[in-house]
Amino acid sequence: MNKSFLQKIRLSLIRDVFTSLVIAITLKKIVRSRLNNDRIIFVKGFNAPLVLLLKLLGYRVVQFAGGFGSVILKGARKYWLLLKELLLLKIIDLLILETSIASTYYTFLQRFKQKIFPYGALYVDDEFKVIKPLEKREPIIGYVGALTYQKGVIQLLLAMNILKSNNVRLLIIGDGPLMNQLSIMVKKLSLEDKVLFLGAISHRDLPYYLNEIKLLVLPSLHGEGLPNVIIEAMACGTPVLATPVGGIPDVIKDNKTGFILTSAEPSKIATKINEVLAKDLKELQKIVNNALNYIDRNYRLQAAIKRYKLISKYLKVL
């Protein structure tokens, strides 16, 4: 086996261990020295029974939130999930949102604004960086995420059908319940030479692929928090085109740090993709540079540690 390959794995593991230790030590300091030994549990994923049990056991619960599933459902299922989400929001001590705009996007959060920490907890690993300059990349657009209806992947494929006469290809990374349907669509639309499915890949491999694509497209219909892949793509110097759902508009400022897709209709997606890829390289590189600077200021490890420290101040006043 190649020695340099083994060295890369070793260095990557060391970085991961170091990063985990830094965050663990920071959280330990928050809990012990700043909060008078209060017992605190950080929870990711909405699990009302678990949170209720933790509260009965005397723990203070800090809930990390992405999107809220009730916004994508209809009928009785929607209201049942909304009820569970409202119950959870009622009993937790602090809700961490990835961006401040998410608290206005999800209108039902307004009644809980006194327990919302709107500065997020995401950060981008150092492996997400520019490897291949934008001018050396081929006209490949990419989608990274779950293959579900609410992510707008069907609309993206239909947009590719409109673009099939252009020199544009689509790379789809991810898996989900729509995989078979999307594969059938590609064949029916004769897009086999235009669309490539990679399926689920290791997160360690993602920086390589983000450096191969010229534009990341996320035409989500609703229900987003702030997808990690947006800030990861920005860190790799890859422009992002996304719909303004959830916390996305806090990070993607149209024509400044990325591009906003005002409609998820296939024709609109196709038009916007053409528009972005046709931009002068200098103009596009300026937007990429703005995005890189934004990530360095807000989403690298040290910035995340500062945000974690702020959590203690929020808990003190509750």
Asked, for residue 171, whether it belongs to a domain, the answer is yes
Do 156 and 112 share a domain, yes or no?
no
Asked, for residue 129, whether it belongs to a domain, the answer is no
Do 244 and 304 share a domain, yes or no?
no
Do 289 and 141 share a domain, yes or no?
yes
pLDDT value, residue 11: 57
Contact residues for 290 (Cβ-Cβ < 8 A; gap 6+): 256, 257
Asked, for residue 200, whether it belongs to a domain, the answer is yes
Q: How many structural domains does the chain have?
A: 2
pLDDT value, residue 198: 96
Do 58 and 191 share a domain, yes or no?
no
Q: Is the torsion defined by CA of 203, 207, 208, 210 positive or negative?
A: positive
| Terminal CA-CA length for the chain | 55
Do 74 and 87 share a domain, yes or no?
yes
Q: Could you read off the pLDDT of 277-308 as tens digits, one per residue?
A: 999 999 999 999 999 999 999 999 888 888 87
Do 145 and 211 share a domain, yes or no?
yes
Q: Which domain range does residue 66 map to?
A: 3-123+300-317
Asked, for residue 271, whether it belongs to a domain, the answer is yes
Tokens of 75: 């009928």
Do 113 and 139 share a domain, yes or no?
no
Asked, for residue 202, whether it belongs to a domain, the answer is yes
Q: Could you read off the pLDDT of 25-77 as tens digits, one per residue?
A: 555 554 444 445 568 888 877 788 888 888 888 888 988 877 777 666 678 88
pLDDT value, residue 124: 93
Do 85 and 221 share a domain, yes or no?
no
Do 81 and 177 share a domain, yes or no?
no
On the CB side of 230, CA atoms within 13 Å amount to 29
Do 70 and 195 share a domain, yes or no?
no
Mean pLDDT, contiguous 10-residue spans, the chain (318 residues): 49 55 53 56 81 87 78 77 84 85 76 84 90 96 95 97 94 96 97 96 96 97 84 98 92 96 96 96 97 94 83 69
pLDDT value, residue 178: 96
Asked, for residue 128, whether it belongs to a domain, the answer is no
pLDDT value, residue 35: 47
Asked, for residue 291, whether it belongs to a domain, the answer is yes
pLDDT value, residue 23: 52
Do 170 and 291 share a domain, yes or no?
yes
Do 307 and 283 share a domain, yes or no?
no
CATH number at 144 reads: 3.40.50.2000
Asked, for residue 39, whether it belongs to a domain, the answer is yes
pLDDT value, residue 267: 97
Contact residues for 264 (Cβ-Cβ < 8 A; gap 6+): 152, 155, 219, 220, 221, 243
CATH number at 90 reads: 3.40.50
